[in-house]
Chains A and B, each alone.
Chain A
């Protein structure tokens, strides 16, 4: 093991089995955890924040122990981290690796609409966003209130 690899290993421990979400832009890991993994799920997590990265200056990383995210679940990450990569680990072996793909729609009860007058903020219901892909990022269009939110606004979206 090289000195840089051992330093990396000390920062974020390996997992035996589960999912690694890598190449998350720095500062967004906590939001992704809130989005995908509600507290009630009690998943065992290892998180690295603001790590040095050869690909993106700094990054966050999330390791979810003993849970394999499906592609559909993983792709929900793309709205906050379109460059993220997903690695599925079983018994310390990498069995699958893929880049997240921006989904056509996003419907998660944890992701709330930014419009305070949207019905989704007043009823016990999931939101439903249509994803609009653009060259410089994405926009989210709420199918209920029909408001569209920019990438900056998406990054500020409330996750409950």
Chain B
């Protein structure tokens, strides 16, 4: 399957078909094996981060530089005309005069779609509030495929704050395209939200709920860890009671008999993954971060019509 015309916005994982997702992953894999340092020569990326980001912003900027393109932009809305109450649509229209593609992160949901409507140049969503972060999902899928050999029929546990984590929401929806058996491990009150579950049911996905990693450790191929955030608990004694339930230790990992078991995390992490796991074959989170580079290269190449 090829993409339409020469440009394409990447706003939401929900807007990508299974074929399109797989095509992006293939392109990313090719770029990882055979770098193309001149692919985007002559083009400029507008890196528009209205709220702070380290990993996503640096990853996109590095991706652009390594493809021969250039980057201009900002990492703080207070330095832009947003501080003068300029509307987002105007800001994007003006920036579009200077660049060939925009990557943006913005605190309001739907902002990336609004930006895409406001310009003819492609817009890539680097995170819009608590809504979508499609390139994170794509790099997660790429990583799963890389370490498991395939995306089909896997067993994946998502652990931690499933209520507030946009990465697990998008990843669950994407995994449903590949007949994944999902295991949701979370404290009471931080379960996967009903609207995500409704989507999964409609897609025919199979999932179950658990309150301890021990319940699923011997079943799964991937443990996708997320941070249980103290600030989400109104009852602090409840947090104290639960916080250690979702810490992954090496002892716990070694209960699994599955040699292909891998641990992923979107970062930042606090204490939910014991540091002694970092140097073991289970740890795949640093490779996961690196894969963001290749996936974002693929997305930029598609957006600018240099890859199809």
Complex contact B195–A123 (CB within 8 A):
no
What A residues does B113 contact at CB under 8 A? 119, 143-144
What A residues does B108 contact at CB under 8 A? 117-119, 122
Interface of A is mostly: loop
| Docked pose: A118 CA to B129 CA in angstroms | 9
- Chain A: CB-nearest residue to B199: A148
Complex contact A123–B114 (CB within 8 A):
yes
Complex contact A124–B107 (CB within 8 A):
no
What B residues does A145 contact at CB under 8 A? 109-110, 129, 131
What B residues does A142 contact at CB under 8 A? 110
Complex contact B132–A123 (CB within 8 A):
no
Complex contact B109–A144 (CB within 8 A):
yes
- The answer to the question of B26 belonging to the interface, with a C-beta cut-off of 8 Å to chain A, is no
Complex contact A117–B130 (CB within 8 A):
yes
- The answer to the question of B226 belonging to the interface, with a C-beta cut-off of 8 Å to chain A, is no
**A-B contact count, CB below 8 Å?**
50
Contact-residue bracket for chain B: 20 to 34
Count residues of chain A with CB under 8 A from any CB of chain B.
Answer: 16
What B residues does A115 contact at CB under 8 A? 109
Complex contact A119–B114 (CB within 8 A):
yes
What A residues does B17 contact at CB under 8 A? none
Complex contact B87–A147 (CB within 8 A):
no
Known: A145-B131, A146-B14, A147-B195. A124 touches B87 (CB 8 A): yes
| Docked pose: A145 CA to B106 CA in angstroms | 12
- Chain B: CB-nearest residue to A124: B87
Q: Chain A interface (Cβ within 8 Å of chain B)?
A: 115, 117-120, 122-125, 142-148
Q: Chain B interface (Cβ within 8 Å of chain A)?
A: 12, 14, 87-89, 106-111, 113-114, 128-132, 195, 198
Q: Given known contacts A118-B110, A119-B111, what 5 new A-B pairs fall within 8 Å (CB)? A: A115-B109, A119-B109, A123-B114, A146-B109, A146-B132
Question: What would 24 A/B residue contacts be, using CB atoms closer than 8 Å?
Answer: A115-B109, A117-B107, A117-B109, A117-B129, A118-B108, A118-B110, A119-B106, A119-B109, A119-B110, A119-B114, A120-B114, A122-B88, A123-B87, A124-B87, A125-B89, A144-B110, A144-B113, A144-B114, A145-B109, A145-B110, A145-B131, A146-B131, A146-B132, A147-B109
